[in-house]
A = this chain, B = another copy of it.
């Protein structure tokens, strides 16, 4: 029941300067609010809808930017990896490496990541029930890694829509690892635009509040100074200018929830 942490940043790395600017803003805001903070950005978007979509700077250049952010702002960093060979280099720079949702059952990737010794953030696939996440935890544990976290980001609900099953948080918390909520990807409407996903940015605060009402370890969040110009997932991104007001709300919710006594209603 520690106060919420924030894994926050941007979707895909665009320029080095933009990443620095975004990181600086997150560091300032979370510092003022006393929220433990990890900077997040992707070096590659490996599963865009279209070949013509922007993918990112790639592993080497991306890790260089993450390294600079880590050193400049003295914050831990997280990035996602997509193939087993990326796990070790990513873990050299990053404190947390992330298993993407669509890839969360790929055993070789899970093992390569677990063996780095880095903390692993396991995104829950859109096609998995909360109970099934224990299998992925077991894979990591058997590879010798117990520094694990689970991250909810929505479940397939018919076509082109996601729904967040709030009861899933309680089920996953029972596995004994921190559970966080990716409150911006969960806004996605997959395949909702002609050649990319759509999103419901206007409800970013509502959905995050619901997740935090479940007494979870923290939030995962992506923001952008101009979401309409973001190179990936802009329809889900929080406008960076709203970050402080947004996090104030979320911290207030988290603080309250964690002050409430446990209530056994099951017997």
Per-residue contact bits, chain A 134-157, to B (CB 8 Å; 1 contact, 0 not): 010011001100000000000111
Size of chain A's interface in residues, with CB distance under 8 A?
A: 77
Measured CB to CB, the nearest residue on chain B to A246 is: B263
Measured CB to CB, the nearest residue on chain B to A197 is: B132
Copies of chain A in the complex: 4
Please tell me if A127 contacts chain B, counting CB pairs below 8 Å: yes
Query: Which of A12-20, A35-43, A47-55 is the interface stretch?
Result: A47-55
Whether A167 pairs with B203 at a CB distance below 8 angstroms is yes
| Residues in A220-252 with C-beta less than 8 Å from chain B | 238-239, 242, 245-246, 249, 252
User: A residues touching B (Cβ–Cβ < 8 Å)?
Assistant: 46-51, 55, 82-84, 102-103, 105-108, 111, 125-129, 131-132, 135, 138-139, 142-143, 155-161, 163-167, 169-170, 190-191, 195, 200-207, 209-210, 212-215, 238-239, 242, 245-246, 249, 252-253, 256-257, 260-261, 263-267
19 contacts between A and B (CB under 8 A): A46-B107, A47-B107, A51-B138, A55-B107, A82-B106, A83-B108, A102-B103, A103-B106, A129-B160, A157-B159, A158-B158, A164-B165, A167-B203, A167-B207, A212-B213, A213-B213, A239-B267, A245-B261, A253-B253
Top 6 A-B pairs, shortest CB-CB distance: A158-B158, A202-B266, A129-B159, A47-B105, A209-B213, A213-B213
